Structure 1
Amino acid sequence: MKFFLWISVITLFAKSGCTSSDSGKPSNEPLENQIVQIAFYNVENLFDTINEAGKNDGEYTPGGKKAWNTSRYYEKLDHLNQVLASIDSAGELVAFGVAEIENIKVLKDLVNTGFLKDRNYKIVHQESPDFRGIDVAFLYNSKQIKVNNSQWINVDLQDSGRTTRDILRADVTWKNEEITFYINHWPSRWGGKEKTNTKRIAASQALRNNIDAMKEEERNNHLVIMGDFNDYPNNESMLKILKADSLETGALYNATWPAHKNESIGSHNYKGHWGMLDQIVVSNSVVPFVDSVYVFKKNFMCYKNKKGEWLPSRTHAGPKYYGGYSDHLPVVLRLKSKK
């Protein structure tokens, strides 16, 4: 299999915008003239209904502030499956990263209900030290992808008194290619962008150190870095520390940079302003494989506010229950190969 070597422009657009247990070895058959998709989705607090000791999850119980119950939980699972099924309408989705999930139980419930049931999805997950009790995970079609190794990169917030999510690294084989995925959910801006900036710098440095260590080992894996970075492509953590560039010729290319320049596109909307908090960064070696990168938006995932703007339909706003999908939109990477 030979991949395209001539693709010079990576496009990013809003797709259909809101306007109105292993069951076999991974296949090594060449994927000729076809597309595969890899996604990232911050699913907005996918918690079960059980108060788990040592976790700050009391509000996500039937008696908690959010009155989170079994009916609402399964409605949330159905909503997420609806989104993933829509992304995979052409049967192209092979893997996705998620953020804001509570534990392995909710991940197993997710892959065993609705669209994902019987799709051969396996899970890479570990409980993180996050003070809120939320984690990241990597889910993949085991018929397509083999995970060779996984590790969790600790983010040391030093004297902040808080803990945050680990960065998940998964080394995989796909179609005889060696790829390393990094799934991120960096510290939020809660309390102010400048005041919390050092936390995201710490996360970025931890990721950068791991990438550099891989280089020192002379491992030439392709890199796909995805996540909710709680920063934008031009912020210090992304541009100066991680060195995810706007140029395709750089060692790391931020494929979501074009959307950052388009004020009408974003994965998250804050007070009426779109922004690319959720991003996909790839190594230079992946650029020739890329067909496009897009923010996935459908009418069913959105609501129309009083100004006539279509915004992500969220599950909660504070204690108020809206019964939506997530306050973030997924970002999707399309990879193309050919003889």
Structure 2
Amino acid sequence: MAKHHIYWWNLENLFDIENSPRRSEFLNKHLGRELNGWNATILEQKITNLTAVISKFNNGEGPDILGVCEVENEHVIQLLIDAMSASLNKNYGFVISEGDDKRGIDTALIYDKTKYGPEQQTFSLRIIKRNTTRDLFQVHINTALGNKLICILNHWPSRSGGELSSEPFRIMVAENLSYWIERIYEEQGDDANIILMGDFNENPYNKSITEYLMAINNKALVKSNRVRLKYFYNVMHRFLDAQIGTFVFGNEYNMLDQFMISKSILSEKSELPFKLSTAEIIAFPELTSGSYQKPVKFGRPNSSTFNVKGFSDHLPIKIVLNEKDVIV
């Protein structure tokens, strides 16, 4: 039996350096002075801090799969996986979806090239509101045992301007994602192994998640063959009363970062390869501060919250899947 240690982490503004030749004029215009002081030394320190934490994942073995968001481009992801590979003595690869988001922050998936591959199949769905949203990014991961995991990376519209006033944008993304998932089932079959991961900017109980994406806390309903709808099981519900959140605003815990899994991964059918084993919020002592275990953010040099010893304003999350030697 193989184990897959899968993580998600919003890396908080992992930008290329200010005045980077790799940045478009469009992004330079929209970012303005946001990156003042974000030089090669600061970027290197951010990479060092992130790598120090990632290298502790999986009891020092590192992640098998790591989904991330708030990364600007291939250059910064390459810097990160070079540092990870050196620290962990592994060979990591990545795929990234570079969209038209006006802040230039995208999603990417990092994976251990010795465990998966050789090539991953990717698809992106770009959703338009008044401006282009961040892409939904679908990656097909092929395991060494010959099975397929379909990972969909998410970074939904933010709550800026207010949770309720911005909620329709997240509902719109949820509806589009639900339609996209239906097409995946049509192409891959009802037993497709799908993992949704991301910063949804919603809590597990918000209606964009429960009513539109149909990701719920009812295992029996997810596994039922009597319902037409294809529900997802939201793994993060179990942490809602744990006095910890992946993002803390003021004195309020939020579970904005989530894993959701398809019926096949919950199913008890012996012929299906993947089973959920464990789930976790990663809260190493250096990652949090204060009585609310607020994530220790890195920030930016032009911000009053800049902390060269920080990491991110979100905590990482993890699931472990067991895989039987069964090919479907």
Partner of 2:46: 76
Determine which structure has greater relative contact order: mean sequence separation of CA pairs < 8 Å that are 6+ residues apart, divided by chain length: 1
CA–CA distance in 2 between the matches of 1:217 and 1:204? Answer: 20
2:78 is equivalent to residue 108 of structure 1:
yes
Aligned match for 1:169, one of 129, 138, 160 = 138
1:225, 1:281 within 8 Å by CA — same for their partners in 2?
Answer: yes
Q: Would you tell me which structure has more helix in proportion to its own residues?
A: 2
Partner of 2:216: 245
C-alpha change, 1:74 and 1:295, in structure 2 (3 Å) is same
> How many positions carry a matched residue from both structures?
296
C-alpha change, 1:76 and 1:217, in structure 2 (3 Å) is same
Amino acid in the other structure paired with 1:130? D
Task: Report how far residue 295 of structure 1 moved.
Answer: 0.5
Question: Over the residues paired in the alignment, what is the CA RMSD in angstroms?
Answer: 1.9
CA–CA distance in 2 between the matches of 1:236 and 1:190? Answer: 18
TM-score between the two structures when normalised by the length of structure 1:
0.82
Aligned 1:274-293 pairs, distance under 5 A: 274-287=253-266, 289-293=275-279
Q: Would you tell me which structure has more strand in proportion to its own residues?
A: 1
CA–CA distance in 1 between the matches of 2:219 and 2:179? Answer: 22
Task: Report how far residue 229 of structure 1 moved.
Answer: 0.1
1:229, 1:277 within 8 Å by CA — same for their partners in 2?
Answer: yes
Partner of 2:234: 254
Aligned 1:1-339 pairs, distance under 5 A: 30-31=1-2, 35-51=3-19, 52=23, 53-55=25-27, 56-61=30-35, 64=36, 67-91=37-61, 93-114=63-84, 118-146=89-117, 147-157=119-129, 160=130, 162-174=131-143, 175-219=145-189, 220-249=191-220, 250=222, 251-260=231-240, 262=241, 264-287=243-266, 289-304=275-290, 308-316=291-299, 319-320=303-304, 321-323=306-308, 324-337=310-323
2:171, 2:208 within 8 Å by CA — same for their partners in 1?
Answer: yes
2:203, 2:255 within 8 Å by CA — same for their partners in 1?
Answer: yes
Structure 2, unaligned runs of 5 or more = 223-230, 268-274
TM-score between the two structures when normalised by the length of structure 2:
0.85
Amino acid in the other structure paired with 2:31? D
2:152, 2:195 within 8 Å by CA — same for their partners in 1?
Answer: yes
CA–CA distance in 2 between the matches of 1:123 and 1:60? Answer: 27
Amino acid in the other structure paired with 1:180? I
Find the residue that maps to 2:139 and give its secondary structure.
Answer: strand
Structure 1, unaligned runs of 5 or more = 1-29
1:48, 1:60 within 8 Å by CA — same for their partners in 2?
Answer: no
Task: Report how far residue 256 of structure 1 moved.
Answer: 0.6
Find the residue that maps to 1:168 and give its secondary structure.
Answer: strand
Amino acid in the other structure paired with 1:267? T
CA–CA distance in 2 between the matches of 1:155 and 1:123? Answer: 23
